[in-house]
Structure 1
């Protein structure tokens, strides 16, 4: 009856009237402004490659204050999470 079938999207062969293919390229291409500077943006790769690219991008980042800020935010969020789940921090101290 079609309950489990998903509908296919319609495809149209639309070309803009006054577009001549200029120097900007395709006007319908959605692209982030920083994509050409990142290695982590791209095709679907496996988890190991994504992790290696993200760590390499973090190592070669020129803004050291931003790296430190990210680490501080992550540490605070981990401590808040441990407080929420009522984790006993006394196991790290005598």
Structure 2
């Protein structure tokens, strides 16, 4: 009856690997490219999100990648229009 409203505490262990020769915590879960991502930081709030989005928008990306994405999107759109049997003659002025 004494522990009716009290929650159990989780056990915590201070385990250190025997053969680990590093400075950082080996149990820290982090992607290897998080240091290069602007969205991996934990800045909360609308103001920080807007500032991060504006900073990402102003940085110039890879030009070849943009061209490649535009080509891929164009091919996919044409393939989709072909699959649904879209008639392109509605844009031509044939009377």
TM-score, L = length of structure 1: 0.51
Task: Describe the shift of the 1:84–1:65 C-alpha distance in structure 2 as closer, same or farther (beyond 3 A).
Answer: same
- The alpha carbon displacement at 1:76 in A equals 0.9
Structure showing greater relative contact order (alpha-carbon pairs closer than 8 Å, 6 or more residues apart)? 1
Question: Kindly tell me: are residues 17 and 67 of structure 1, through their superposed partners in 2, closer, same or farther at Cα, counting changes over 3 Å?
Answer: same
Partner SS state of residue 31, structure 2 = coil
Q: Gaps spanning 5+ residues in structure 2: where?
A: 1-11, 43-48
Which residue number in structure 2 is paired with residue 17 of structure 1?
17
Larger radius of gyration: 2
Which residue is 2:77 aligned to?
78
Please name the residue that 2:66 is paired with. 67
The count of aligned residue pairs is 79
The TM-score with structure 2 as length reference comes to 0.50
Gaps of 5+ in 1: 1-11, 44-48
Give the equivalent residue in structure 1 for 2:31: 32
Taking a change above 3 Å as real, the CA distance of residues 67 and 57 of structure 1, as seen in their structure-2 partners, is farther
Q: Distance in 1 between matches of 2:17 and 2:91?
A: 69
What is the Cα-based RMSD across aligned positions, in Å?
Answer: 3.9
